[in-house]
Amino acid sequence: MEGKLPTKMSDTITRSTRFGSYLRASRVEARRSLREVADAIGISHVYLGEVERGVRGPLMESHWDGLLAAIPGLTRAELKRTAQMSRALEIDLSTAPARYQDLAIALARRFKRRDLSDAELSRLLKVLKPDE
């Protein structure tokens, strides 16, 4: 048996989504198995695992009622919030004024480079979200 099929170790850090991480953490906390939850909401075990690992995006909202019933502690508000944070964001710049276009492109570039300092992030967020 040993060594007949290859197995591997990988040092690649997986990239989970907020939605997937929230779902898994809640499931483990509630002591529900992957098998139980996938069966309860009627999706394959492989698919649910892929959602949790971030290989796939958030589950469609049509599955959320099933999730909420299967995993105590899960909330619709947090599912919605983490789903929004786990999806690509598209902005239509075509009709925006030139300076708004500049702002969006500059922000997108810096977001991609992840090179804003904590202080810069704080200042930007204070301007963009003054009430929070």
Partner 1 sequence: MSDITRDSALMMPGLSMACLEALGAGVLSVFQPSALLSPQPLDIAGWIDRILPRFGVHVAPAGESELGDCAALTIVSGNFECEILIREWMWNDLANETRPNFARATVVHEIAHAILHVPMLRSGAAMESVEPDAPVPAFRDPEWQAWAFAGCILMPRRTLTMLAQLDTETVADAYIVSAQFAQAHLKRLKIFSEANNDVVGRL
Q: Contact positions toward partner 1, by CB under 8 A?
A: 1-3, 5-14, 16, 24, 28, 31, 33-36, 45-46, 49-50, 52-53, 55
For the bound state, the minimum distance from the C-beta of residue 40 to partner 1, rounded and expressed in Å, comes to 14
Report the nearest approach of partner 1 to the CB of residue 12 (Å): 5
Between 18 and 110, CB nearer to partner 1 = 18
CB of 36 to partner 1, least distance (A): 8
Q: Which amino acid is at 97?
A: P
Neighbours of 126 (CB within 10 A): 10
What residues contact residue 40 under an 8 Å CB cut-off, 6+ apart? 66, 69, 70
By beta-carbon proximity to partner 1, the closer residue of 5 and 89 is 5
Cβ neighbours of residue 82 under 8 Å, at least 6 residues apart? 17, 18, 19, 21, 22, 58
